[in-house]
Structures are given as C-alpha cells and as structure tokens.
C-alpha cells in the first residue's frame, strides 16, 4: 500500500501507524508523548497532521477504471499521527496551514502548562508558536505535561511505583500519597522516557535519589561504571532466578570475547 506524505510516496502495511511510517521514511513529525518502546498515547496531540482520503483511483495500475471512486469528493481531517492506523491509500500533509495553526495553539497551551520545560520552549521557537499569553494554565512543577509516558514505562516494567493522582488542575504524576514507593527500584526508566525533563534524578557518589527515595548504586567490578541500584538488581535476580550481575554490559561482552578467544585460540 502507498501513502503520500508531503509529496513523497511511502510503502506501508495496512494498519501501521502514520507516525511510524513517516519516521521510517525519514519524514519528521514533531511529537512529545510518543516513544518507540511504548504504544502510542495521543495525549499531547503535537503530532497532528492533515489526512486526505477518498481520492479513490490514483492512476496507478493498468486495470484502473475511471468514474468509480475518483468522482467522489476527497475528505480531509486532522488526526494524531501516533495513533492513526492507515487502512487505505491517503495523502498526508504535515505542514499545511491548518496543521500549522493547530500545532501553534497546542504548543502555546503546552508552554503555558509547562513553562519551565526547555524542550517545549525549543519546539515553540522552531515552529513559531503564538505568544499564548491568554493561556494561563500553569500547574504542577512547571515541566510536566501529564503525557503519562513515565507511568506507562513503570507499569510496563512491572513495578507500578508511579501513576496519575488527583483530578482537574490538581492532577499530577506521583507515588502513592507522595511518599517514597516501596516498590520503586530507582531504575530511572521514567526519567529516561520523560519528554520534558520533569523527573529529577540525583546521583551523589554511591547513591541515587528519585521520587524522594534514595537507593544504593552498584558498580561494575571491572570498570567501575554504574550498573543500576542494588534494589533493582536484587528484584531482577529474584524474578530471573540468577545472581545479580557484577559487570556492566560492555565488560560482560569483553569477558565473553576473552573466554571465546581462550577457548578457540583466536
């Protein structure tokens, strides 16, 4: 199946999400709440594009018949590319006037809700977002846009230490009762997927502090690099039924290479 994005024809499979198709083709569509390791959420709506469907026969193929579908008037709609599955050939505009207007308003709203986020400020500069002085909806710590990526990552890893709490303007991402979560292993995955830098992770010597919880760090016995927290490795080893690792991934690969070299005399 063929999808035409900004004049470029791209092959895809039926049901693929539009953002994935564009990314594979090297076409950038701005997004915040999307992460390749997690399913699309459609929360921030920044990946808004305009999709035109109903063109019918595009002239490709010898067996095309005129006057069947090509006489129907095409339909255009605004969609979130990260959760839009392509079911038929269509034409996509990522920078039409309608898209620019909607994207500008979305960015202005995001900047108002997270004024301390440099990532959002940079997007506003890049895409020329309007002033947005009328959108005074600041809440939380000034960086979080409540996209939910952090909570989803935590849940996917089987920890579930954080989630959205509260309602309305009081809604936020936090641990239960804002207390250090007993199940939090301090892996930092939530901070790694956060698109706006809202989650703080502090490391001081042999300790890591996140979500008001301080955990002891473990280091590679060969190179000294941080490999995670002791609690993180303990939980993983219990689930896997193995001993906690004492080497970082790089040193494990080197150790395996050394073993192979000695075994086979390379």
Predicted local distance difference test score (pLDDT) of residue 43: 87
- Write out pLDDT tens, residues 200-213: 999 998 999 999 99
In-domain check, residue 234: yes
CA distances from 220 to 91, 103, 235, 249 (A): 51, 45, 18, 9
Check: CB of residue 47 under 8 Å from CB of residue 81. yes
**Sign of the torsion formed by the C-alpha atoms of 193, 195, 198 and 204:** positive
Predicted local distance difference test score (pLDDT) of residue 258: 79
In-domain check, residue 154: yes
Would you give the end-to-end CA distance of the chain in angstroms? 49
Query: Rounded to the nearest 5 degrees, what angle is found at the Cα of 147, between the Cα atoms of 145 and 148?
Result: 125
Q: How many domains does the chain have?
A: 1
- Write out pLDDT tens, residues 114-141: 999 999 999 999 999 988 666 665 554 6
Check: CB of residue 1 under 8 Å from CB of residue 60. no
In-domain check, residue 222: yes
In-domain check, residue 86: no
Quote the radius of gyration of the chain (alpha carbons, Å): 24
Q: Which residues does 164 contact at the CB level (< 8 Å), separation at least 6?
A: 146, 148, 151, 171, 172, 173
Q: What number of helices (H) and strands (E) belong to the chain?
A: 7, 11
In-domain check, residue 246: yes
Predicted local distance difference test score (pLDDT) of residue 67: 41
CA distance 233 to 77: 48
Check: CB of residue 45 under 8 Å from CB of residue 147. no
At 65, the pLDDT band (50, 70, 90 cuts) reads very low
Best CA proximity match to 95, nearest among 78, 108, 113, 110: 78
Domain that holds residue 177: 149-255
- What six digits make up the tokens of 93? 């505009």
In-domain check, residue 27: no
At 38, the pLDDT band (50, 70, 90 cuts) reads confident
In-domain check, residue 169: yes
In-domain check, residue 137: no
At 94, the pLDDT band (50, 70, 90 cuts) reads very high
CA distance 69 to 223: 65
């Amino acid at each position: 199946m063929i999808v035409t994005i900004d004049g470029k024809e791209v092959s895809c499979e039926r049901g693929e999400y539009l953002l994935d198709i564009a990314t594979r083709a090297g076409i950038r569509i701005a997004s915040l709440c999307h992460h390749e390791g997690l399913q699309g959420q459609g929360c921030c709506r920044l990946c808004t594009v305009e999709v035109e469907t109903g063109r019918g026969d595009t002239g490709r193929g010898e067996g095309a018949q005129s006057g069947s579908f090509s006489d129907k008037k095409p339909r255009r709609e605004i969609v979130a590319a990260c959760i839009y599955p392509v079911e038929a050939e269509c034409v996509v505009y990522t920078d039409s006037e309608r898209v620019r207007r909607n994207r500008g308003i979305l960015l202005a709203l995001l900047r108002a809700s997270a004024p301390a986020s440099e990532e959002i400020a940079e997007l506003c500069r890049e895409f020329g977002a309007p002033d947005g002085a009328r959108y005074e909806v600041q809440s939380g710590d000034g960086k979080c846009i409540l996209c939910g990526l952090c909570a989803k990552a935590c849940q996917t890893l089987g920890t579930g230490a954080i989630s959205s709490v509260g309602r309305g303007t009081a809604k936020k991402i936090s641990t239960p009762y804002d207390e250090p979560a007993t199940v939090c292993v301090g892996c930092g995955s939530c901070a790694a997927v956060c698109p706006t830098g809202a989650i703080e992770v502090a490391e001081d010597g042999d300790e890591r502090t996140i979500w008001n919880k301080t955990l002891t760090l473990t280091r590679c016995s060969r190179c000294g690099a941080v490999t995670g927290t002791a609690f993180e490795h303990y939980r993983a080893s219990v689930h896997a039924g193995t001993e906690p690792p004492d080497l970082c991934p790089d040193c494990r690969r080197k150790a395996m290479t050394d073993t192979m070299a000695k075994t086979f005399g390379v």
